[in-house]
């Protein structure tokens, strides 16, 4: 859910010792060059201009058309997931908690790598206000982005932990820290050895 506060949540997890894999960042790197970039350009030439790949154009294109969004996801997700798996394998040996900051967790199939799911959500009108202020886009475009994603109830049903972010920042951070305490306690009490706990915060789906 765009505008829910996943970036802040991920930062709090990182400050508490989690290794955070920013799947948005990995996606942008993968799409920028190589075979993934070639496949995207072949399928969506209209998303390119003289400066190369235009994320704003692509966002308008896919967030307004679910068929094109699925097509885009089908192209990019295998490349992104491959990179994420490599990162997980490199860090798992450290026996650290790993947080996948992965907005398209279920769509990409990355939930298969997670032991626990954390969902971060906010009321739609709250999200629209945050998105328009942050990304300098219209409320109409913000709503289009939100409508292209599953709603909060979808994630609430699937998540092991559900955090709402409709109030002040301090309350939100306290809710995050409470979840972190629960996860660390769970790992300390588990009988499994050498197993890294993967978790996930959901937020917006970026191009």
- When pLDDT is averaged across residues 48-62 and rounded to a whole number, the result is 89
Of 120, 139, 119, 123, nearest to 131 (Cα)?
139
**pLDDT 10s digits, 98-143:** 899 988 888 888 888 888 899 998 888 998 998 899 888 889 888 8
Q: Kindly indicate the confidence band of residue 68, based on its pLDDT and cuts at 50, 70 and 90.
A: very high
What pLDDT does 48 receive?
93
Domain 6-201 class in CATH = alpha beta
Query: Looking at residue 189, what is its pLDDT?
Result: 52
Which pLDDT score is estimated for 9? 93
Question: What pLDDT is stored for residue 153 in this prediction?
Answer: 85
Least confident of 89-98, 113-122, 153-162, 181-190: 181-190
Query: What are the DSSP calls for 62-74, one per residue?
Result: HHT-HHHHHHHHH
Lowest mean pLDDT segment, chosen from 23-37, 80-94, 138-152, 184-198? 184-198
Which pLDDT belongs to residue 205? 35
In the DSSP assignment, the letter for residue 197 is P
Largest CA distance in the chain: 56
CB 114 within 8 A of CB 105: yes
Q: How confident is the model at residue 199 (pLDDT cuts 50, 70, 90)?
A: very low
Question: For residue 188, what pLDDT is reported?
Answer: 59
pLDDT of 185: 84
Of residues 82 and 92, more confidently modeled: 82
Other Cβ atoms less than 10 A from the Cβ of 143: the count is: 17
Q: What is the distance between the alpha carbons of residues 91 and 109, in angstroms, rounded to a whole number?
A: 20
What pLDDT shows up at residue 79? 94
3-state SS, residue 21: strand
Q: How confident is the model at residue 6 (pLDDT cuts 50, 70, 90)?
A: confident
């Amino acid at each position: 859910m765009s505008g829910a506060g996943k970036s802040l949540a991920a930062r709090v997890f990182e400050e508490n010792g989690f290794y955070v894999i920013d799947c948005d960042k990995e996606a942008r790197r993968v799409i920028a060059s190589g075979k993934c970039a070639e496949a995207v350009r072949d399928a969506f030439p209209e998303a390119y201009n003289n400066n190369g790949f235009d994320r704003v154009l692509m966002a308008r294109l896919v967030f307004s058309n679910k068929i094109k969004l699925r097509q885009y996801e089908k192209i990019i997700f295998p490349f992104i997931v491959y990179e994420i798996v490599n990162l997980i394998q490199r860090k798992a040996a450290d026996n650290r908690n790993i947080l996948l900051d992965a907005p398209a967790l279920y769509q990409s199939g990355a939930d298969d790598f997670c032991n626990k799911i954390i969902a971060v959500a906010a009321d739609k009108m709250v999200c629209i206000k945050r998105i328009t202020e942050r990304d300098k886009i219209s409320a109409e475009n913000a709503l289009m982005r939100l409508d292209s994603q599953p709603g909060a109830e979808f994630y609430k049903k699937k998540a092991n932990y559900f955090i709402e972010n409709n109030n002040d920042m301090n309350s939100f951070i306290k809710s995050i820290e409470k979840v972190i305490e629960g996860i660390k306690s769970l790992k300390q009490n588990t009988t499994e050895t050498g197993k890294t706990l993967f978790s996930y915060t959901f937020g917006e789906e970026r191009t």
